[in-house]
Amino acid sequence: MFATTTLADAAKVRWDVVIAGSSFSAMFFLRGLPPDSRVLIVEKGELVDHATQIEQRDDRAKDDYAMTNTSGHRKDWFAHRLFGGNSNCWWGQTPRFHPNDFRLAELYGVGAPWPLDYDTLEPFYTEVEELMEIAGGGTEAIFPRSAPYPYPPHIPARTDIACMKAMPQSWFHAPSARSNGGSRPTCCANGVCDLCPIESKFTILNSVDSFSRDGVSLLLQAEARHVGIAAGAADGLVVRGVDGTEVTLHADLVALGANAINNATILLRSGLTSPALGRYLHEQASYEIEADIGAPNYYGGTSITGHCYALYDGPHRRDRAAVLVENYNSPYSLRTEPGRWTDRISIKLIAEDIPQAENRVELDADGEPHIHWQGHSDYAMRGLDHAIESLPDILPFPVERIVRQVLSITEAHIQGTHRMGDDPAASVTDGYMRTHEVSGLYALGAGGYPTSSPVNPTLTLSALALRAGRSA
Ligand SMILES: Cc1cc2nc3c(=O)[nH]c(=O)nc-3n(C[C@H](O)[C@H](O)[C@H](O)COP(=O)(O)OP(=O)(O)OC[C@H]3O[C@@H](n4cnc5c(N)ncnc54)[C@H](O)[C@@H]3O)c2cc1C
């Protein structure tokens, strides 16, 4: 574990690097830094051990955000505020981005360009997967790899087995940070992964020794408010303690890993003026679907076992979104007919979104974040409509009846508010997540995504943060 410090003591030192946040983006950035650098981690929340989190369950500290929502649909954005951030509550899904997710603008003329490609990120993906002890396999046809997955995939559900046989080029094991070998207990497939009772899922807290080292200190319950800037370069972080006192912590480099809404808020407060800053807030649009089918399901080894790419990449992305199908092995509801209890499928259709400038984070009169949300793009909704129509055709068993079909209120993936890019007029950071405007200032995390990809963001943002740390 890290040595902890106090605000008063932290202010006496000039640090090599100060990092706001203590979750994936902060920790993988730290891991990439030179091993002799003197680093301070500034975390707004408390350190809450696993047993106490189990006691608190749904009462774990959360940030909710003020929002003007004109979409006509309920929309939630939230994040957990404690040491390890959302790693405490994430589900542990760890797909890589599809190579063409990085080339959407170039290949299909849609969205903003990425300043790097899959091959550039590949070694960092591999390193993050090693550290997280990811279980997976069988996806090499789509995702070139320099090393095999560290651990084998979980046992597929019975519907996955049927789908893999029918669609060997597009239905795969879902890679996961829910253990199937390694230092953590093997997943027990109980389906409550947002607070894994047996510590099977990778969290920053249960893997903290992979990140801690001499020369790194942790300051808890201290909120990064804005970046100190001198002569166009980062000079430190202004931090507010629990008693409201604000103190400047001086440093040569500053990195923000506080999530896309909080990072944008801190950058706006710091006076950065990039036209893209705070804008393009987005995440995937998704439908949760349960359907009665003419085949048995479940009996897989973890909560989500299958990924289908049949509706994902191709020329259709000029007009409608790529869609990922996630197959849940968690029988949230069963059939009641004798002998047919498990003849049901529970899936999610997840569409990439095209970020829109009007979806944004602004500062309110008190300097706090206020979200303006007008909804997902028509591009995303066209992708979902097509996926819903196509589903009965791609599944290799009869779909007898849709039992439930709901547009999700959140994917809990906060993305896009400080997009990366080569053009300083259209982006906030470069491909190493260094702000164009202020040298020595990094904005980490999925806030850097120029476009969304249908897949979960965390493996990619961790790989990007590791690469950013190596550049420092
Ligand atoms: C229920 C749930 C399930 C999810 N499942 C998946 C999944 O299966 N796969 C996947 O890829 N993604 C998943 N996600 C998304 C994933 O959790 C995020 O992509 C990831 O946590 C982002 O990492 P981060 O380090 O950028 O930010 P966070 O994890 O949000 O961490 C930010 C940290 O900064 C701290 N902080 C905030 N403001 C300040 C401040 N002003 N000063 C100092 N510290 C601050 C916070 O307390 C926190 O520790 C899920 C999210 C949720 C909520």
Mean pLDDT of 419-436: 98
Looking at residue 312, what is its pLDDT? 98
Nearest CA to ligand 1 atom 19: 458
pLDDT band for position 332 (cuts 50, 70, 90): confident
Looking at residue 395, what is its pLDDT? 97
Looking at residue 60, what is its pLDDT? 80
Looking at residue 333, what is its pLDDT? 83
Is 80 exceeded by the pLDDT of residue 59? Answer: no
Looking at residue 40, what is its pLDDT? 98
Say how many Å lie between the CA of residue 452 and the centre of ligand 1: 16
Looking at residue 350, what is its pLDDT? 98
Share above pLDDT 70 across residues of the chain, in percent, rounded to a whole number: 100
Q: Ligand 1 atom closest to Cα of 26?
A: 25
3-state secondary structure of 163: helix
Q: Angle at Cα 99 formed by Cα 360 and Cα 460, nearest 5°?
A: 55
Closest by CA position to 81, among listed 241, 238, 193, 223? 223
Q: Is the CB of residue 194 below 6 angstroms from any atom belonging to ligand 1?
A: yes
Mean pLDDT of 144-148: 96
Looking at residue 41, what is its pLDDT? 98
In sequence order, what are the beta bridge partners of 415? 282
Looking at residue 430, what is its pLDDT? 98
pLDDT band for position 42 (cuts 50, 70, 90): very high
Say how many Å lie between the CA of residue 245 and the centre of ligand 1: 26
In this structure, of 24-28, 64-68, 184-188, the range with the lowest mean pLDDT score is 64-68
Say how many Å lie between the CA of residue 39 and the centre of ligand 1: 21
Mean pLDDT of 437-463: 98
Mean pLDDT of 186-195: 95
In this structure, of 244-258, 323-337, 345-359, the range with the lowest mean pLDDT score is 323-337
Q: Is the CB of residue 45 below 6 angstroms from any atom belonging to ligand 1?
A: yes
| Burial class of residue 317 (count of CB atoms within 10 Å of its CB; 0-12, 13-18, 19+) | buried
pLDDT band for position 57 (cuts 50, 70, 90): confident
Pocket test for ligand 1, best of 458, 459, 464 (most atoms within 8 A of CB): 458
Through-space distance between the first and last CA atoms of the chain, rounded to whole angstroms: 23
CATH assignment at residue 91: 3.50.50.60
Mean pLDDT of 427-446: 98
- What would the two tokens of residue 383 be? 């992708």
Closest by CA position to 468, among listed 270, 255, 277? 255
Q: Is the CB of residue 97 below 6 angstroms from any atom belonging to ligand 1?
A: no
- What would the two tokens of residue 325 be? 């199908």
Q: Is the CB of residue 283 below 6 angstroms from any atom belonging to ligand 1?
A: no
Q: Is the CB of residue 224 below 6 angstroms from any atom belonging to ligand 1?
A: yes
Q: Is the CB of residue 259 below 6 angstroms from any atom belonging to ligand 1?
A: yes
Pocket test for ligand 1, best of 7, 22, 23 (most atoms within 8 A of CB): 23
Neighbours of 391 (CB within 10 A): 22
Rounded distance between C-alpha atoms, residue 106 and residue 83, angstroms:
39
Is 80 exceeded by the pLDDT of residue 275? Answer: yes
Nearest CA to ligand 1 atom 48: 85
- What would the two tokens of residue 144 be? 């070139």
Looking at residue 467, what is its pLDDT? 98
Looking at residue 28, what is its pLDDT? 98
Nearest CA to ligand 1 atom 53: 412
Q: Is the CB of residue 410 below 6 angstroms from any atom belonging to ligand 1?
A: no
Looking at residue 61, what is its pLDDT? 84
Tell me how far the alpha carbon of residue 469 is from its chain's centroid: 18
- Secondary structure element (H or E) that encloses residue 31, with its range: helix 24-32
Task: Tell me phi and psi for residue 149, to 5 degrees.
Answer: -55, 145
pLDDT band for position 308 (cuts 50, 70, 90): very high
Q: Is the CB of residue 456 below 6 angstroms from any atom belonging to ligand 1?
A: yes
Rounded distance between C-alpha atoms, residue 283 and residue 139, angstroms:
24
Say how many Å lie between the CA of residue 81 and the centre of ligand 1: 8
Pocket test for ligand 1, best of 62, 80, 86, 221 (most atoms within 8 A of CB): 86
Using the structure block, give the residue that is written with the tokens 């959360």: 62
Task: Tell me phi and psi for residue 269, to 5 degrees.
Answer: -60, -30
Rounded distance between C-alpha atoms, residue 469 and residue 388, angstroms:
41
pLDDT in tens, 104-131: 999 999 999 999 999 999 999 999 999 9
Q: Is the CB of residue 28 below 6 angstroms from any atom belonging to ligand 1?
A: no
Query: Sign (positive/negative) of CA torsion 184, 146, 119, 324?
Result: negative
Q: Is the CB of residue 178 below 6 angstroms from any atom belonging to ligand 1?
A: no
Q: Is the CB of residue 427 below 6 angstroms from any atom belonging to ligand 1?
A: no
Looking at residue 63, what is its pLDDT? 85
Nearest CA to ligand 1 atom 32: 258
Mean pLDDT of 333-353: 95
Say how many Å lie between the CA of residue 263 and the centre of ligand 1: 12
What contacts 97, CB < 8 A, 6 or more positions away? 118, 121, 453, 455, 460
Closest by CA position to 249, among listed 15, 2, 5? 15
Rounded distance between C-alpha atoms, residue 174 and residue 180, angstroms:
12
Nearest CA to ligand 1 atom 37: 258
pLDDT in tens, 194-228: 999 999 999 999 999 999 999 999 999 999 999 99
Rounded distance between C-alpha atoms, residue 428 and residue 275, angstroms:
8
Say how many Å lie between the CA of residue 336 and the centre of ligand 1: 38
Q: Ligand 1 atom closest to Cα of 260?
A: 26
Is 90 exceeded by the pLDDT of residue 62? Answer: no
Domain count, the chain: 1
The residue segments making up the domain with residue 113 are 3-471
pTM of the model: 0.98
Average pLDDT, the chain: 97
Is 90 exceeded by the pLDDT of residue 447? Answer: yes
Task: Tell me phi and psi for residue 376, to 5 degrees.
Answer: -75, 160
